Chain A
């Protein structure tokens, strides 16, 4: 018998940001969906319920007329379903195919990673967030998109401004101004390059959009480039850091990985399960319905907590531990269903095959800085915000 959505008043955004996992576990044990007053959304935390949601876009839609994302970025494919979504997704697919990633993007990522490490490898210590992970993700993203002459710091700033804008439920005018500035900057950067790609097709996303069977309109290009900038920078950045952090905290696993390079990609998958970079994303309930043991109403907003599902005890034993040797099973770090992360194969290559192995190979006796503890933060997006390390010169 389905019951109404229970309410939890005692879980604050601050608690979730510091460490969401105890709250996720409590919610998971309580009901299929729980209204968390401070977050103003019904959180869905069980693995099986999330699979149900992602396989049924009739009842649980990505479209949302009032979406802040649409206001900030334009109407991107992330807020479309069915054919409207498929047409745009198919247009950009050629840039993200695993074969294209391996043959075209891989050498470029290798080069970026090598140059970044060259710049600090003599220092003996660094914070990998600013010196490596953030520029690696940003420079890689600029290449994939095909944006020319954009500084990695600008792209990173735009990405953050767009994400802040999407989460700006309080309509803070300063956040709106920053998001608008980012949006204008991106439009200008796109305008600068489109003519080039009309005549010079290559594997970049901008080129794919122009040369697809169903070409993107300018509005579609702008919206989808923004959604890729907003959603494609922090995930590789955070998963680089989480993979390194997980390995540095577990010397036995690190030793096995260093002895067998092919295990880095397994470490990456485990990192994305352990601390999923996208912890929560929204869906809209389209009709009065039941999810698991809970009754939902038309118009309800539900927050799909893949970060919680990836620690669901019914799917993962000892889920809070980082263990690259756990039984291999599906995780939801890349989502599921039609909106499954388009950049999955890019991330696997950039993080698991290139960036993380190169750090361990280049920096002798890499270790956590004992005087400066790592900081991990966030719940909608989660990852290390500081990862100070040392190595032997």
Chain B
């Protein structure tokens, strides 16, 4: 009975949290570079897209991921459409994993995530370097992928809490 009185605005805000996070992070490039820790950087967007599209794609629509990629390209300064392509590749992998997985578990997801970010970052680095002649630091990409992989369980834990809250609000 009490749940009927719950604010509908809060429900919709919670539901749109993943999209909000996605756009905030592409506009803002959340990577904690300002802390100036040598070599430390990670790709929050990759974690976000992988987790939410794997969990349930209704939280993050493919259209919004495409748009977020365009925004990221403009902000970072790489050819437009490039990040969209990479983000959608992650979605393709998660859609495939969702179809073949009956009982999801952390280790499988984590290993799949590593394979996915290595694939996406390899495509990104090779295309930027060879096709667009933009010089990139391969080692930095590798380190970035490493930290993104290591930090995945941390965000998985946080997103699980959020997902449970969203699920409760929707079911109410």
**Do A and B form a real pair?**
no
Chain A positions within 8 Å of B, measured between CB atoms, are none
